[in-house]
Amino acid sequence: MVTVHEILSLEDPGARLFTRLTEAQLRAGGAAGPAALSAAGLSAGGAAGLAASSAAGLFIAESPNVIQRGLDNGFEPVAGLCERGQLSWLKDALDGEIPIYTADDQLLRQITGFALTRGVMCAFRRRALPSLEGICKDARRIAVLDGIVDSTNIGAIFRSAAALGYDAVLLTRTCCDPLNRRAVRVSMGAVLQVPWTWLDVQGPRDTEYEGTCPGVQGPRDTEYEGTCPGVQGPRDHEHGGACPGVSSQSDHGQNPSITSRLNSLGFKTVAMALRDDARPLDDPVIAREPRLAIVLGNEGDGLSDQEIAQADYVVCIPMAHGVDSLNVSAAAAIAFWQLRP
């Protein structure tokens, strides 16, 4: 049964799950331990129980539409925070032994430091990600993101992928975490709908700490949200989870390239790159391919020379008026439409 807790002051611990845990602590879930959850304001018993049951980590969804999409896609809610005007909706939407914290709008704004998006937030448990082979088995069109670090771009790309019928999104470990709060919000919950997983070009992922830096055997530094351990400085809040010190382009070394991995699964790759020898995006030969993976690179550097050289097709969107390029999320939307299944 849902239980409602009225927040009466700025010192009330009820909202701190939503305001005191960093993205890194949310990702770590049970690995963050009861101490981190207690520091967020949960009781010792509640923190221990939540830590024990959330080893896969947590994420925050905002607004009724996004929360409903999470529920519709089978994500398990942990707790809710809402304005009084949204209490009836949230009580009806949630089920089970789930606490809901509420207060008047002005007090919630003081507690959280910002206006709640559509007046409501919900913490969900993460779940195990599908394997690369499983996610690609029946797919015809997939997006591959290599080193995209901006959470807004990640969210916008997922939203376009969902709207234009793409079957899955694969990401290298140098990308922002798709379940970063801003990415979830910008995607309008598409990150909870479109299947996705990490494309582990550099080796198998550390399954205990989903979303950590490549090669780092443990959660990200919890003081500096989203940075690698040992990095002495706060992260760039524009970029929700990429690791300073990790190259924005994948350092594949002797490991299989994106193209070789996807060729082995039956896909032809389409690298988006500003090259003089690139084909136009509307080349009919490409559109006729039965299975395509559209590969998009880092906001600043794009794809590595190695990935471009090994791609089955290299394409670009013709520019006018001296404009050299589009934002990666805008380019993705155009490419997804042109090469839609």
Domains of the chain: 3-125 (3.30.1330), 132-338 (3.40.1280.10)
- Determine the Cα angle at 68 with ends 153 and 155, to 5°: 5
Q: Which residues contact 22 (CB under 8 A, 6 or more apart)?
A: 222, 223, 225, 226
d(CA 46, CA 325): 50
Comparing CA positions, the residue from 142, 100, 70, 93 lying closest to residue 7 is 100
Comparing CA positions, the residue from 253, 267, 256, 269 lying closest to residue 314 is 269
Distances (CA, A) of 260 to 166, 256, 308: 21, 6, 12
First to last CA, the chain: 44
Comparing CA positions, the residue from 94, 90, 118 lying closest to residue 105 is 118
Residue indicated by tokens 């530094």: 221
> What is the structure's pLDDT at 203?
33
> What is the structure's pLDDT at 226?
34
Q: Which residues contact 322 (CB under 8 A, 6 or more apart)?
A: none
pLDDT mean for each 10 residues of the chain (341 residues):
81 76 81 46 45 65 95 95 90 88 81 68 93 95 98 98 98 96 96 94 35 33 30 34 41 69 97 94 96 97 95 95 93 97 91
Strand order in the sheet with 279-280: 196-198, 168-171, 141-146, 292-297, 268-272, 313-316, 279-280
Pairing of strands 58-62, 141-146: unpaired
Residue 101 near residue 153 (C-beta atoms within 8 A):
no
Helices 328-338, 151-163: crossing angle, 10 deg rounding: 10
Query: Of how many residues is the chain composed?
Result: 341
> What is the structure's pLDDT at 261?
94
pTM value is 0.80
d(CA 262, CA 88): 47
